Amino acid sequence: MTATAPPVGEPDRTQPRNTPASPAAARLLRLLPAAVAALCGVLLYVSFPPRTLWWLALPAFAGLGWALRGRGWKAGLGLGYLFGLGFLLPLLVWTGVEVGPGPWLALAAIEAVFVALVGAGVAVVSRLPGWPLWAAALWTAGEAARARVPFEGFPWGKIAFGQADGLFLPLAAVGGTPVLGFAVVLCGFGLHEAVRAAVRARRTGRIRRSAAAAALLSVAVPVLGALAARPLVSSEAEDGTATVAVIQGNVPRAGLDFNAQRRAVLDYHARETERLAAEVRAGKADRPDFVLWPENSSDIDPFANADARAVIDRAARAIGAPISVGGVVERDGKLLNEQILWDPAKGPVDTYDKRQIQPFGEYLPLRSLIGAINDEWTSMVSQDFSRGTEPGVFTMAGTEVGLVTCYEAAFDWAVRSEVTDGAQLISVPSNNATFDRSEMTYQQLAMSRVRAVEHSRTVTVPVTSGVSAIIMPDGRITQKTGMFVADSLVQEVPLRSSQTPATRLGVAPEIVLVLVAAGGLGWAVAAGVRGRRAGGV
């Protein structure tokens, strides 16, 4: 009688198992995969900024591979959810800094569902030849879905954003965050398969060449690809240089009530600009070609408030350069998170309205339902912001500066659109004052470093309360401020106009990887159906 292989996606019950010494040991053994999945999720979190332990992502995915391989889809769903919670709960704790644990726990629980679905898929494809490839593509597909739904997505925590200090970073220039993240996950799953092949060879004295080759390629190809991509990363000037000033005015105090301090915040940024102007006149600082203020640096509408307009005018004339001012503006009945190009002689001459606005922060989905649950939440977002529709590229002293406002930096399309619209430099004006001294600002700074390499552009990050920074096109931070201090950064930076493969390809690499994931899943399901039919004969 010929033994048949178990259907793909079902547990393999044909392998001999060691009988535990006691029922207690058996229970502990059954809990081990769950514990490993959750702990590996925590390990993945530890690999993210502000720590520089990017390499911990590899054993995190190796451990997840051990927990999922050979299991059924239901077990994969549960183990994936535990992995997702272990990763996202600590990563997103900053979302509850000012509003309490409810929204934080809800967000992490919902986002972990995407990881659970990926876990189910990985378990199903784990019996296929070369399974790390299909599994890594499934992870990319899960990130693609999470970046789009619900409420237009939440890409925070993409694997690429934890790799700003890592070996694999040059791959961002090849295919953006999907390719960078795919390479890391593939290498992690391949590491598990390599260890597994080595243990089997030591135990049996035989090497399965196909499995060993797949494991070796899963590890080697991402590493070699990253090394081969290094020539794409450069900080050389292509269109000359510009001297930029980044202003961090600080806020009187952290928290959601910083909005009640709007005039103080505006005054702080004007005062820091005027202080820099005095240093320029004294020869202690270089004269900037243009100045960048953060998001919400003028929450008093300067188009409607003559006093606010006078404050900005005075600062612009003092520094003698155009300023990009982050304002909250009401126009035609719409509330807009707007960047305003302020000329020292002409005043406001151009605007950019934030396009990717933040759910539950800048607008409230399901307002009536949420109000029925907790009316305090609806009062926090009393009026929804409206969305802009056009890319924002300001011409500032002859330099094309692309604006990507805060939350937008997490979205691939939002950054790419500024570069394809002609940006020679990217600015990410942000306001992190509502998140106190949490890790949020460091996580967002890492995103900007990845974007710098992805599109080969200098990236500036002006923030109300820190950490503001200047980032070279190779991802290096050359200057940065502390948190909750008033400061300014002035530097001559390279301007570039060439496009990386990632910029030119846009969403294409992500689509290819999603199709690979679908192909692997379809193959596994079809193989499982054939296996069940054969087993029933």
Q: E strand or H helix at 335, and its extent?
A: strand 334-343
Checking DSSP bridges between strand 241-248 and strand 323-331, what pairing results, if any?
unpaired
Q: Which residue in 179, 168, 205, 195 sits closest to 69, CA to CA? A: 195
Q: Which residues pair with 328 in a beta bridge?
A: 337
Q: Which residues pair with 342 in a beta bridge?
A: 323, 348
Q: E strand or H helix at 396, and its extent?
A: strand 393-396
Q: E strand or H helix at 142, and its extent?
A: helix 131-146
| Residues forming the active site | 295, 354, 406
Three-state DSSP class for residue 489? strand
Q: Which residue in 336, 340, 353, 500 sits closest to 412, CA to CA? A: 500
Three-state DSSP class for residue 448? helix
DSSP 27-95: HHHHHHHHHHHHHHHHHHHHTSTTS--GGGHHHHHHHHHHHHTT--HHHHHHHHHHHHHHHHHHHTGGG
Residue 3: burial class (beta carbons within 10 Å; 0-12, 13-18, 19+) = exposed
Length of the chain (residues): 537
